[in-house]
Chain A
Amino acid sequence: MAAVAVKYPAFQELGTEVLAVSVDSVTTHKEWHEKELSRMVEGGALYPMISDPDGKIGHLFGVYDAKTGLDLRSHFLIDPQGIIQAMEILAAPIGRNVAEILRQLRALQHHQATGEFMPCGWEPGKPTLAEEGETPSISGKVWKVWKPRNAF
Chain B
Amino acid sequence: MGIQIGDKGPDFKAEAYYRGTTREIQLSYYRGQWVVLLFYLADFTYV
A-B contact pairs, 26 of them (CB 8 A): A1-B38, A16-B35, A18-B35, A19-B30, A21-B38, A22-B42, A26-B15, A26-B17, A31-B43, A32-B44, A50-B15, A51-B14, A51-B15, A56-B14, A57-B14, A58-B39, A61-B9, A61-B10, A61-B37, A75-B38, A75-B39, A77-B35, A83-B9, A84-B7, A84-B8, A105-B36
Task: Please give, as numbers and ranges, the residues of chain B lying within 8 Å of A86 by CB-CB distance.
Answer: 5
In the complex, how many angstroms separate the beta carbon of B39 from the nearest chain A beta carbon? Answer: 4
Chain A residues positioned under 8 Å from B40 (CB to CB): 1, 20-22, 71, 73
Say yes or no: B39 contacts A22, CB within 8 Å: yes
Contact of B38 (CB < 8 Å), options: A18, A26, A30: A18
Number of interface residues of B (CB under 8 A): 37
A109 at the interface (CB under 8 A from B): yes
Q: Write the chain A residue with the least CB distance to B35.
A: A78
> Inside 8 A of A83's CB, which chain B residues have their CB?
6-9
Shortest distance from the beta carbon of A66 to any chain B beta carbon, whole Å: 14
B18 touches A75 (CB 8 A): no
- When distances are taken between beta carbons in the complex, the residues of chain B under 8 Å from A70 are 41-42
CA distance A80 to B44 in the complex (A): 32
A142 to B18, CA, bound (A): 47
Would you call A150 an interface residue if the criterion is a C-beta within 8 Å of the partner chain's C-beta atoms? Answer: no
Q: Which positions in B face A, CB cutoff 8 Å?
A: 2-10, 12, 14-19, 22-23, 25, 27-28, 30-44, 47
Asked whether B37 lies within 8 Å of A22 as measured between CB atoms, the reply is no
| A69–B28 CA distance with the chains assembled, in angstroms | 26
Contacts of B6 in A (CB 8 A): 83-84
Contact A93 B34 (CB under 8 A): no
Give A68 Cβ to nearest chain B Cβ, in Å. Answer: 8
Measured CB to CB, the nearest residue on chain A to B30 is: A17
Shortest B20–chain A CB gap in Å is 8
Closest chain-A Cβ to B23's Cβ sits at a distance in Å of: 6
